[in-house]
Every structure is written in C-alpha cells, then in structure tokens.
Structure 1
Amino acid sequence: MKKRGFTTEKIITAVTWLLILLGWYLITNLKMVSSTLVPSPQKVVTTFLAILQNGYNKISIWSHLWASFERLFLALGLAVATGIPLGLLSGYFSKVKAVIDSIVEFYRPLPPLAYYTLLVLWLGIDNTSKVTLLYLAGFAPIYIACVSAVNNIKQDYILSAKSLGANQKQIFFKIVLPACLPEIFIGLRTAVGISYTTLVAAEMVAATSGIGWMVLDASNFLKSDVIFVGILLMGASGILIDAILRFIEKRVVFWKGFV
C-alpha cells in the first residue's frame, strides 16, 4: 500500500509539471503575453545552450556556478560548524542560551539587504562580506533547530541513562546528539533554502560572477530568457542539494520513524 501511494504521488508530481510546461508553451506560443516578459520554452532552451557554449558576459556557466557554490558552501560549512554546537549547548545549558538566543532572535527577522550595506562597509566588497551574509542567513535556522531538538528530548531517556550510571559526556553523545539529528537535518535543509535565496542579494553588490549576479544583470537589460535560465539553474541545483541532504539523512538517521 505504501509503495502504491508513493508511485501515485510521483505520477501526480509528473502530471503537475507537464501541465505547467504545457501551459507555459501555449501561453507563449499563442502570444498571450509579451515574449519580453515571458519567453517561450524554446527560447529558454536555445539561450541555455548558447550560454553553455559561450558563457555569459565572457564567463563560462561553470565559472558562474562555481562562484555561487563557493560562497554558498563556505558559508553553510561555517554555519554548520558553529550553529550545531552552539544550538545544542544553548538547548542544554540555559546560561549559554541567555547569551546567544537574544542575538539570533534580533537579527533573524531582518531582511538581508537591511544589514548587507553595513557588512560591505565593514568587510569590503569582496567575498568576505558575501560569505558573512550567507553565513548569518544559514546560522539562524540551524541554531533554532538544534535548540528545539534538545528541548524536545524525552527526559525519560536522560533519567534512565543517569540511573544506569552514565556521565554527562556519555549522555550527550549517546542520547542527546542522536535524538537531535532528525531536527538538525531539518534545520540544515531550511538553511540551504534561506542561504540560496539570500545568494541573489549577496551578489547584488560588486559582483561580476555567480548565478545570482547573472540573473540580476540580465534583469537590467530585460533579458527574460537569461533570467529564466538562471532561475531554472538555481531551482534545479537547489533540488539536487536537498536530495543529497535527504540521502545523507537516510543513511545517518536510519532509525527515524521507528522511535
């Protein structure tokens, strides 16, 4: 029954996207909207092949992707390296939470562009300010997920471990960390999405490469076909990154759904 339901969902997803592509094809080929606003699928494919062969602004598409991914993954790596331990410590020790939590809650609702100008003034116009912006965007969801995960641990697990003579280190690595892993991966996936959307803002200032910059530069010249290519590339790569995280999660948190 579960397998059949899974297959049905896949079919529904495929039909949904086929209908979207069909509607896009009909609307553009029947000239229901201006091609300047919405290019046809054929035009987008032709533009993609041209960019794949000749690049954009004399820079290959692989260089644009590498520039964006370098900023994204460096920022996410730093967010993971700091967000997970600080989040777990904040959930475990109220005094640590009292120091960090209010800072995260203060800047988290702020739009990235609201403080990006300050980051540029403080850190310069190179990649440092861009990576810092993406780091701040990715840190908050990871940190919050970790704090929430610790708070949701059943106290029976910890009390049982203590009654069997486990020390604080053993409790943390044998009970707290494994119990938090499912929510940590949710935080990671959320952080990837938020950081990726922030990437466009990060590449708005003093950038000459990157998928976000390519989309912004094309918008200045009303190159809607290039904009669509950039958006589709970001969407496809975002789905790929999320699929990789899901794959890792299934291997690492193999007990999820059984406890």
Structure 2
Amino acid sequence: MILLLWTVSTNSKWIDPLFLPTPQSVWFALLDLLQEGYKGSSLLEHIANSLNRLFLALILALVTAVPLGILCGYSKYFRAIFDPIVEFYRPLPPLAYYALLVLWLGIDDKSKVALLFLTGFAPLFITTASSVQKVPRDRINAALTLGASKWKVFVFIIFPSCLPDIITGLRTAIGVTYATLVAAEMVAATSGIGWMVLDASKYLRSDIIFVGIILMGTIAMFMDWIIRWFQRRHFLWVGTED
C-alpha cells in the first residue's frame, strides 16, 4: 500500500519530485550507484565502511560490557563503582560528547568507533547486570555445594542463564549503535551510507537520499532478523516473537 501510494502520488505530480522522487527515479539512482559508485567509491565500499565501523564497535562492546556486566551483577562492590559511570553518560546524546572524541582521537574512524562503542556498551552492560541479578540464588548455591569454583559458576551457571537476555540486549545495542553510526557519518566522514545521504542532500539529489535511507533500513532489518533467528533456534524456551 505504501509503495502504491508513493507511485500514484509522485507520477500524478501531486508532490514536487524535489521533495519526493518517483520510485522509478530511485530505482535508476540505485542502478547508477551500483555501476558508477558515489564520489570515487562504489556503493558496496560505502556500505562496507559503515558496517566495518559498526561491527568493530559491537565486538569491542561485547567483549567488555558482558564480562563487566556479569561482575557488576554478581558483586555489589563492582556495581557501586561502574554503575554510576554508565548511568551518567547513558542518557547523554551521543553527538554531545562526540566533539570531545574528535578532539582526542581525530576525525578518522577511531573517533567514530569510540562513539559507537560507548553507545552500544551501555545497553549491553545494563541488560547483562540485570540478568545476573535474576539468576536464582539456589542454582548458584547448588553449584558451589557440589564443589564448583567461582570461575566455573560464572562460566557454566551464570553466563548460560544470562545468554538469552544478553542477546536481547545485543538487539537493542545494534539499534542504537546503527542510528548513531549514521549521525556520526553525517558529522565528520568522507565515506559511508550516512555521509552519502548528507552529501547528496547538498545537491538536492533526493533520489540518492531515498536510496540511502532504504538501504539503511533494509540492512538494519536484516541484522535484526539474524539475531531473532538465532534466538528462535537456540533459546526456544524464551518464547521470542516471530
């Protein structure tokens, strides 16, 4: 219905093509980007640059937020140290402190990855810490009674119990990180989908803007679908939605 309304309204000249291009012009713009690229880089290179920044930041967030979240959820002393720090910067708009990251790390990918890392760290940390606190204490005490060390309790009891919630936190982290990625590329970048959309807006290329928006939404939906598929396949007892 949306596509039909879009086609009828634009081809009937109800809306100025400058503000809303026709589906045909968007399609031809996509074909042109696939063949010619944009500003010296192919469309796949722009997508790859964006995803490279995103995945690097998510990997860093996973390997730091999950272990630290488990420790903070298990120990009130660790939680007293790290939880106020995370709760302080979590509500801040990412672009508010991005200027500092640019000053410290430069305008290249280091500052962007650092911004995305901080954005994805908070939801993963909070979800993990909250999940640890929900693990039944009887389960932990039973493992300790049977001779398990604290290390084995973390690895074989707490972490598997928290894994479904960690995956859910990862979905949230991907969403906020992906939105921040586009904003970061619009502020200071020379490649990426977000930069391409911003640069096209300077020349009133609304067809390229729509191509970028559609690609960004499609990639985000695909990544979320992968996470939901993994949940349905490995955590059937959680009752994830279709």
Range into which the TM-score falls when normalised by the shorter chain: over 0.9
TM-score, normalising length: structure 2: 0.93
The Cα of 1:254 is off from its aligned counterpart by 4.8
Within 5 Å, give how 1:113-192 maps onto structure 2: 113-192=95-174
TM-score, normalising length: structure 1: 0.87
In 1, distance between residues paired with 2:234 and 2:120? 21
- State the identity as a percent: 55
Within 5 Å, give how 1:179-218 maps onto structure 2: 179-218=161-200
1:90 equivalent in alignment to 2:104: no
Are 1:138 and 1:191, in contact at CA under 8 Å, matched by a contact in 2?
Answer: yes
1:32 equivalent in alignment to 2:9: no
Unaligned 5+ runs, structure 2: none
In 2, distance between residues paired with 1:124 and 1:21? 42
The Cα of 1:252 is off from its aligned counterpart by 4.0
Residues 164/247 of structure 1: CA separation in 2 closer, same or farther (3 Å cut):
same
Unaligned 5+ runs, structure 1: 1-18
1:67 equivalent in alignment to 2:49: yes
**CA deviation digits over 1:210-232, x for unaligned, max 9?**
00110111122221111110111
The Cα of 1:233 is off from its aligned counterpart by 0.7
Between Structure 1 and Structure 2, how many residues are aligned? 240
The Cα of 1:102 is off from its aligned counterpart by 0.8
Match of 2:60 among 78, 99, 120: 78
The Cα of 1:60 is off from its aligned counterpart by 0.3
Are 1:79 and 1:135, in contact at CA under 8 Å, matched by a contact in 2?
Answer: yes
In 1, distance between residues paired with 2:168 and 2:81? 24
Aligned to 2:210: 228
Runs of 4+ in 1 over 6 A off after TM superposition: none
